[in-house]
Each structure stands twice: as structure tokens, then as C-alpha cells.
């Protein structure tokens, strides 16, 4: 990794918002998932949660590599995701039209927040709606009272970004160093990341020049060949 790339990644990580998250409840269209990943990356929302009965493929072309810079959390069901959010004391917002819905711009997004979007056709489940601290809506004046989930996500996330910028939440790094080191290694050394996973090795530290700082024993283990074709990655 060049020093220039290291500085670019560090600059991005310094703007990440670890307490602003998105949750997709059974959103099943791969292009929507990929587009929302791009939305999250664009505004610095670091954590993306997905609730899947079965895992869906991420379309790398649509996501344009944004999945490499986010923290993806998967949940088998809605209750597990909700428990995770409550344990972190996050306000849970669900996009849904109900008697208690408010304009999405009337919410305080400077608080630890997760924004939950339901499945494309049926919306959020009753379980998610009951767990929400607030239902939010995007006002519309047209005949078709709905937006694509990725478009709705972009609107809400950019309102959250606007509020957080005004509050100065982008003015100092907020992501812990352990997570920064993970992303630096995975983003800066993707081939070695693959080898680490194959060999069961912990990631090394990345120094201030973007170089790997690891003991000789780590490099020795990386050079060992285990006869697996998937492991044929050149390590100099």
C-alpha cells in the first residue's frame, strides 16, 4: 500500500460515524442492497445490518467496492437485530406510514441511531414496527406514494449527515483504532487478507506509512504452502 493510499483511507476513516447505522429487513433485491451500501459509505454510516432468511449476493458492480469499507452485520431474524440495537441504546427508526409517523427531517439524528427499511413489496414487519421508537415518512405529493428503498435510504441518510455536520460530529475521528486497523489491512492488502483467512492468521498492524508491521514468524507462516489451490497468492 502506498503512503498516498494509506492517507486516503485514514482520511475516510476519520469521518466514519460508528453510531449511525442502517438495517435492511429482508430486502432481497441485490441491486438495492448494493446501492444502500454506497449510500452508507457516502455519508460515513459505518455499520450496515441485514436481516436475511437466506444470504443474498452483493453485486460488486452496483456497490462499486463500498462493501470493502463498511462493517456488515447479518442477523437471522428481526428479534436478534432489535436486541442488538437496544443493547447499544440506539434509537430505532422505521420507515412506515402510521398514525404516529413524523417527517423524517423532524428526527434528531445526532443520537445513536439505526434506520430500518423493510422489504421492497411488503415493508417492515409488525415486529420491527412494534420495536421502533419512531416511525418516519418521506412526504410525497405525487400519485405514487412510494420510493425505491435505496432512494429513500439516501434521503434519510443525507439528512442525518447534515445534522451531524452542523453538530460537529465529523470534526474528529470517532471510529476505534482496532476497526481502523482491520479496514486498513483489508483495503490495503486484499490478497494477504485472503491468505490470513485461509490460514487462520490474525491481521497484522499497519504502521503510519501504510506498511505491514509483523514479526518474522507471521511472514514465515504466510509463505507456507498447504497444498490448497485457493492459497496460490504470491507473497514476496
Residue that is written with C-alpha cell 450496515 in the block: 48
Euclidean distance between the first and the last CA atom of the chain, given in angstroms as a whole number: 14
Residue of 24, 43, 74 whose CA lies nearest to 164? 43
78 is in an annotated binding site: no
Q: What are 208's three cell numbers?
A: 503510519
Strand, helix or coil at 186?
Answer: helix
Strand, helix or coil at 73?
Answer: strand
95 is in an annotated binding site: yes
Tell me, rounded to whole angstroms, the distance of Cα 102 from its chain centroid.
25
What secondary structure does DSSP assign to 78-146, as a single string?
Answer: HHHHHHHHHHTTPEEEEE--STT-EEGGGS-TTSSEEEEE-BTTTBS-HHHHHH-SEEEE----SSS--
72 is in an annotated binding site: no
Give binding residues as ranges.
95, 138, 147
Binding-site residues from annotation for S-adenosyl-L-methionine: 95, 138, 147
Amino acid at each position: 500500500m502506498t503512503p498516498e493510499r494509506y492517507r486516503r483511507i485514514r482520511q475516510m476513516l476519520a469521518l466514519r460515524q460508528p453510531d449511525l447505522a442502517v438495517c435492511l429487513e429482508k430486502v432481497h433485491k441485490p441491486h438495492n442492497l448494493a446501492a444502500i451500501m454506497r449510500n452508507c459509505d457516502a455519508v460515513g454510516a459505518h455499520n450496515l445490518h441485514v436481516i436475511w432468511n437466506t444470504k443474498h449476493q452483493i453485486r460488486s458492480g452496483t456497490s462499486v467496492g463500498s462493501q470493502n469499507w463498511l462493517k456488515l452485520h447479518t442477523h437471522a431474524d428481526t428479534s436478534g437485530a432489535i436486541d442488538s440495537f437496544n443493547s447499544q441504546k440506539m434509537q430505532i427508526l422505521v420507515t412506515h406510514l402510521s398514525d404516529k409517523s413524523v417527517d423524517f427531517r423532524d428526527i434528531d439524528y445526532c443520537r445513536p441511531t439505526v434506520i430500518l427499511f423493510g422489504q421492497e413489496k411488503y415493508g417492515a414487519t409488525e415486529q420491527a414496527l412494534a420495536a421502533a421508537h419512531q416511525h418516519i415518512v418521506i412526504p410525497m405529493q405525487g400519485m405514487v406514494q412510494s420510493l425505491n428503498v435505496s432512494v429513500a435510504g439516501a434521503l434519510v441518510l443525507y439528512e442525518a449527515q447534515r445534522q451531524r455536520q452542523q453538530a460537529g460530529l465529523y470534526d474528529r475521528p470517532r471510529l476505534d483504532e482496532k476497526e481502523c486497523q482491520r479496514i486498513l489491512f483489508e483495503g490495503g492488502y486484499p490478497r494477504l487478507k485472503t491468505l490470513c483467512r485461509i490460514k487462520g492468521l490474525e491481521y497484522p498492524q499497519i504502521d503510519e506509512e501504510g506498511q505491514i508491521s509483523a514479526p518474522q514468524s507471521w511472514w514465515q507462516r504466510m509463505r507456507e504452502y498447504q497444498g490448497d489451490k485457493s492459497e496460490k497468492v504470491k507473497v514476496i
